[in-house]
Structure 1
């Protein structure tokens, strides 16, 4: 099959990944390519050269002085992203059906959905987040969207149900050949974007309450949050080890006794949970969003959302869970092949409609 894979234009699809969306898109592109499919990835400049990505032209738009001075002028970053997706969709509308069998939209932008009726090739869109106003508006522009929707969890599908009644659940998968079991250790680990909605500061407080050292890893896209709420808590057993690539992060996870996952929002999926389990590391976290879909009692424990003391109380028990059970759960529920199977079957289905 010939697949046009549309990525986020905000960050390159390259290691170390800016977040779970970029990691997921990279893994899917590689999995489809290994299966013999022709994949063209449309992504931000600087993406993995092995993927031969076609760069989305994300650049400062040279608007007229009159347009720039208008009261409705959005930020330059917003305008650049809008311009990139507009150009891509117009290009696909011209002759996309001659180059591709299916378009898979993995971006969070509204234009690939809003402009899908202009294409003569089927479009699949994966819902990676809770409902957003721009995307919901794009879906509701006509009597029936021609887009086939998937969602990364039952929780996310339910959140979108008023707008997208029949989103098919295809959970994100990880390469269990890269995320390998480790021997564990005495520390805890927290991984992900260090942003308020992931609440790493609560992980530090819970680990300290439990008296167990904690290592944190991930990008810092919100410098103010890190400086004001995370950095002051470092020390006394809590250490930030930087933004790691997959292999570095797998090694870190594999040498931890348990992984803390502390969402401050309703987590649409929780790729960090799957990664920890694949490394044989049990999970201890807040019961928000889709985490309860991934975890079973033999590989993870969940506390009420935001309850640091309850989370701390569960940590010793989580550290004693069977690492083999964690790994089995990842192999059976979170593996990359399972995800690739589901998407290729869906592509074949929409091509026949």
Structure 2
């Protein structure tokens, strides 16, 4: 009887291990979507139900789509002459790439009316927008190093079933700790995707665009997009809310907080302020996505001169230490 129990426990352990390996393989699968690395959404979430009576977790907040105006509304008519050309025959006007902001806005303005429907896609009627014409132009916003990693064929395929793109959020953010010299921008995009039925589906992605100066202009050297989930935050998980996120990860995990966490909001920007036991002041910057969830952007600490400085705090490291 004991042997049977041991066998059952071992079997369950093996299955759980296989599940973890499979999950990690999905995260690092190398999938490309819309020219960017596809990053699966990962949260430290337990399965506790959320109390939807609280204002922060109202169902309307999470289920309603964006009302944000689109940012990619620039029209560069001269680029229409390049539609239909091979990507290697196109030279972008330098004024479209003068600043990182210009590059990103013009890149998404080119992609806005591009469409790459699958054969079985029944969305729309007739030719949609500028069809595949804009993709060779958009590809030239990428740096040479990015093109070496992502061929045009793969780039085009990554837009399959994507029929319209609106840029709804754009902000420069602090560089990654391991990429201190890279210019980094936060973006959120609204995408109409095709369906086998005669309807279009709205999907939202957020992510980061990295840029570098190349031949006197700014080109895109890397991109990461993560799809937004609309059915986790309304029912499960503290990690989607700025205040709860800071209280648990910085407080419970790292024992860094003394007193209350105070959150201040300005549009879709949130700052969660707190002090440690030595009265050092911190705040964690979040952006609220279209699906109502708060995404951590950066950590700041007030220095001896009373100025906020970027620091890098990894609460998961505290959790790992506690486990050991």
Q: TM-score range by the shorter chain?
A: under 0.3
Q: Which has the higher helix share?
A: 1
Q: Which has the larger radius of gyration?
A: 2
Q: Which has the higher strand share?
A: 2
Structure with greater contact order relative to length (CA < 8 Å, sep ≥ 6): 2
Q: TM-score, normalised by structure 2?
A: 0.26
